Structure 1
Amino acid sequence: MTTTPPAEATPKTISNTQLWLTLIAVLLADALDLVDSTITNIAAPSIVHDLGAGESLIKWLGAAYALALGSLLVLGGRVGDKFGQRQTFLTGMAGFVAASAFAGLAPNGGTLIAARVLQGVFGAFLIPQGMAIITATFPKAAMQKAFSVFAPMLGIFAVGGPILGGFLIDANLFGLHWRPIFLINIVIGGFALVFAWRFLPNVPAHRGTRLDVLGSLLLIAALFGVLFGLITGSTDGWDALPIASIVVGVVVFGGFVRRQATTPEPLLARSLFTNRGFTAGLIMGLLVFAAFAGLMYVVSLFFQYELHYTPTHTAISLIPLTIGIMGGSGASAALIGRLGRRLAFAGLLLDVLGIAVLLFFVNRAGLDITWWQNAIALFIMGLGAGICFSTIFNTALGDVEAHEAGAASGSISAVQQVANGIGSAVVTSVFLTTVASGGVRAMTITLLVSLGLVSLCLLAVPLLPKQAAELDH
């Protein structure tokens, strides 16, 4: 998500102790992002009930954060290149903590959504710097050890985040209900900020880096315009406002495309989109991440609204999904070099199977579905997701030239976040629009939509490069 600095810009060698202190600082930043990107899946019903808000708030809680983050992620990486990764990291962390406090104290839904957007904006300037600093400061052998720590720690954060959120909501600390899920970032993020200020090394800035601020603003305006129209229309009816919003969003997106075609420094390298394998992988990743993010949000809503699970019970019930994702990711790392795009096909098939199993159990047992039925289906879905997420994107990079690898990786990270935002809003709209006719019917329709999106990706697998990119870690 950021260009690799030239050799002469590499900072002086730092001690082995500081290398690992740097890794801790980066992990703390990624933990904040990973927890805040998923915690509202658990908290949404409690937030909506407490604020007396409508279902549109449910759709925006995850989408606002993910779209802001994804739209600005590439720009955030380049800001770090231009002004220095350490300074940008500290600014992003400070802003993220402030936005979290803003969210935790929000008096109404509109203020909360604004705070979630700000979290995403500062997250976009925070997250890219960590990997750039590690790449610039770690020797190759130490970098390999760091990556071996990175993956399992992110898995722990993925499991722990929703459980922490469920516990905090059910504990109702100081009578604050859901608010501690954001306010706790003041403590964790404040510690991370001081820790990073003390131990994060300086990486020389590249003042000649060009920033396409206009392109980023056009992209974020286009995405929010289209999504505002979709959410408003599905919630309040298709009158002039949502239709006009979608039209304006599409027109602005056309301006973004034109901007990318003419500016000397586009956010997304133009040459990448003549690469069929990369483009196919990007589109597949968009569909799969959108379907998965949306479905996981709906599963959480189904558990709480229809099965009457508590937030903690819901979070614990999602653990089989996370275990499956971790197992699938491990299998992908071990097999991708040998199987290439065939592994992506296998992951998609498992995802389809998991959705089909959950569809079967929901229709067979209805609202009497048991914990073990949910666990089986979610584990299979997680296993497939863990395999196909990294495999699709790594395979998409298989035919990318070495000098384009950084830009391609940045594009993939941005698309992943945008897909999370779109999926959490659109797939959730399907569920909430049909839930009045019964939770089982709404869940059935949502599962069928998700099944269709993932199945469509199976047809595109032959367009991917046969082999994945060779990774150094």
Structure 2
Amino acid sequence: MLLAGEAMDMLDALVAAVAAPSVRAELGGGASLTQWLGAAYTLAMAVGLITGGRLGDVAGRRRMFLAGAAGFTAASLLCAAAGSPETLIAGRGLQGLCGAVMIPQGLGLIREMFSGRELNRALGMYGPVMGLAYVGGPVLAGWLVSADWFGSGWRMVFLVNLPLGLLALLGGWRFLPRSGPAGGTRLDVVGVVLASVAALPVVFPLVQGRELGWPAWVFVALAAGVALFGVFGWYEARRERGGGDPLVLTGLFRKRAFSGGLVTGAVLFAAVAGFSLVLSLFLQSGLGASPLEAGLAVLPWSGGTVVGFVVVQVLDGKGAMERLGRALVQLGVGVMALGSGGFAAVLAGAGAEVTVWRGAPALAVVGLGMGLVMGPFFSTVLAAVEPRETGSAAGTLTAVQQFGSALGVAVLGTVFFSVLGGQVAGAAETVAPRVLAEAGVAGPERPALVAAVRACGRETAESPDPSVPAESCRLSAGRPAGEAGRAATRLGYSGAMRITLWAELALLAVTFAVSFLLPRPPRRR
């Protein structure tokens, strides 16, 4: 039931991009609706996570998990029944807030229910489930939208949460331990306000900055958010020194496993979330795959993750996890980098002939590395956390994951879109003359069509809403020009994806470097 709650959260964090075209077709709204379907959820989740984790210590983890699961299920029903864009966005925000209450309790409850090697195995399942949800979420969402069960269309991506939510509620009510709140612990209301106010100006610019063109106020907001987090940290340390109950226990940051894990996790999730975004854009907008086809194309990524998880479980069964420690995390990051580099090589070799399945072996290698990383990650980071610190640790760790994911989407999304228009225009200069010549288009008509294809590709690639054809595309709507435009689009998107993969490799290199902050395994005498 804990993993069911985690699956609901990860699925709903990823469905917005897949379901957005169908949502707009039925409810209306512009490109901003697509942005806010994801942003409302991410912002609400990030703002509430630190508080949600601490609420488990204050009011009881079982109680908070059940409350969060009930609220998340009800909010999903609200989203599925939405008759207007405003109602849907409000439902998404409510989902994020309830998820912020539900998700941090999972790690705390696992630590309550298990110990020793069983605890490592339970935490070892947590990471792969998150990884599989990252990769498999778009597959499920694409299938649900395409299947159109009972004529529900996009609404089914939210209705699927109802059985998952009921499973989490019934299972939690029956099996979770009835532990009460920590005696005498009170909620730090001032800390809640400071954390919420600080999170908003950090996450909002990361989520919306690229779509807005990175205006100056975005960087001012980021700086203000960082400063507010400094004030929050000062207040929490002062409150703890005074004998109060802080929202975040500052002693956590003196533990190398936890503080190193926060930094490593932030960069790791930035690499994973950013790559997932640009891969989906490349498959659907660049190669013309349907949501279902794009989801199926990343199944090798999911399969590789499962294999990596099995390898970790085998190593744990042989007692090798304690000897490997952070080395297994570093090995996994290296394998992810190998797969990303292989994907870039495939794109370079395929050119305009690239298909959705060409990169399957490389994606399987990326998934293998991700399984090797995720398997030991949570058990390593939470190894030294004491029971009274669990709620604070879980909320802080999950919040940092959200910040890292938003950062990765901002960084890799910005790289991808900043080069996309030029890559498509340049590809039109290379591909369009050859395709038009093969189609028998000659004379003065051909240069005009090449220029139209180039303009159409650039304007569509640079548009905030690529699903709406640019004005110049009407000039290249004929069959030969249309074929040339599709070839140029494939080649241009392929070039933009290759450049973005260099940024992905840079993030993985940073992940490898900061993973040295994790503690070494204890030496055996």
Match of 2:500 in 1: 446
Structure 1 residue 121 corresponds to structure 2 residue 100: no
* Offset of residue 79 of structure 1: 1.7
CA contact (8 A) 1:306 1:367 kept: no
2:368 is aligned with what amino acid?
Answer: L
* Offset of residue 348 of structure 1: 1.6
Aligned positions, number: 445
2:197 is aligned with what amino acid?
Answer: A
TM-score computed with the length of structure 1 as normaliser: 0.80
CA contact (8 A) 1:68 1:117 kept: yes
Match of 1:456 in 2: 510
Give the alignment of 1:69-468 within 5 angstroms: 69-106=45-82, 111-133=87-109, 135-136=111-112, 161-190=137-166, 192-193=168-169, 196-197=172-173, 202-239=178-215, 241-264=217-240, 265-276=245-256, 278-333=258-313, 334=315, 335-392=320-377, 394-396=379-381, 400=384, 406=390, 408=393, 410-437=395-422, 438=424, 439-467=493-521
CA contact (8 A) 2:301 2:368 kept: yes
* Offset of residue 150 of structure 1: 7.0
Which stretch shows the higher mean deviation, 212-221 or 160-169?
Answer: 212-221
- Distance, in Å, in 2 between the alignment partners of 1:332 and 1:199 is 27
1:77 is aligned with what amino acid?
Answer: G
* Offset of residue 296 of structure 1: 0.8
Of all paired residues, the percent bearing the same amino acid is 38
User: Would the alpha carbon gap of residues 247 and 275 (structure 1) be closer, same or farther in structure 2, given more than 3 Å must change?
Assistant: same
1:308 is aligned with what amino acid?
Answer: G
Q: Which has the larger Rg?
A: 2
Which stretch shows the higher mean deviation, 138-147 or 111-120?
Answer: 138-147
SS in structure 1 of the partner of residue 157 of structure 2:
helix
CA contact (8 A) 1:63 1:420 kept: no
1:218 is aligned with what amino acid?
Answer: L
User: Would the alpha carbon gap of residues 236 and 259 (structure 1) be closer, same or farther in structure 2, given more than 3 Å must change?
Assistant: same
1:3-29 deviation per Cα after TM superposition (whole angstroms, max 9, x unaligned): xxxxxxxxxxxxxxxxxxxxxx33432
* Offset of residue 452 of structure 1: 0.9
* Offset of residue 96 of structure 1: 0.5
Which stretch shows the higher mean deviation, 184-193 or 300-309?
Answer: 184-193
* Offset of residue 389 of structure 1: 3.3
Match of 1:7 in 2: none
User: Would the alpha carbon gap of residues 364 and 268 (structure 1) be closer, same or farther in structure 2, given more than 3 Å must change?
Assistant: farther
2:260 is aligned with what amino acid?
Answer: A
Q: Give the RMSD, CA atoms, in angstroms.
A: 3.6
CA contact (8 A) 1:67 1:418 kept: no
- Distance, in Å, in 2 between the alignment partners of 1:100 and 1:300 is 24
1:318 is aligned with what amino acid?
Answer: V
1:348 is aligned with what amino acid?
Answer: V
CA contact (8 A) 1:96 1:122 kept: yes
- Distance, in Å, in 2 between the alignment partners of 1:194 and 1:165 is 25
User: Would the alpha carbon gap of residues 179 and 428 (structure 1) be closer, same or farther in structure 2, given more than 3 Å must change?
Assistant: farther
- Distance, in Å, in 1 between the alignment partners of 2:508 and 2:114 is 38
In the alignment, structure 2 segments of 5+ residues that lack a partner are 425-492
TM-score computed with the length of structure 2 as normaliser: 0.73
User: Would the alpha carbon gap of residues 382 and 101 (structure 1) be closer, same or farther in structure 2, given more than 3 Å must change?
Assistant: same
CA contact (8 A) 1:83 1:207 kept: no
- Distance, in Å, in 2 between the alignment partners of 1:372 and 1:322 is 14
* Offset of residue 318 of structure 1: 1.2
CA contact (8 A) 2:110 2:123 kept: no
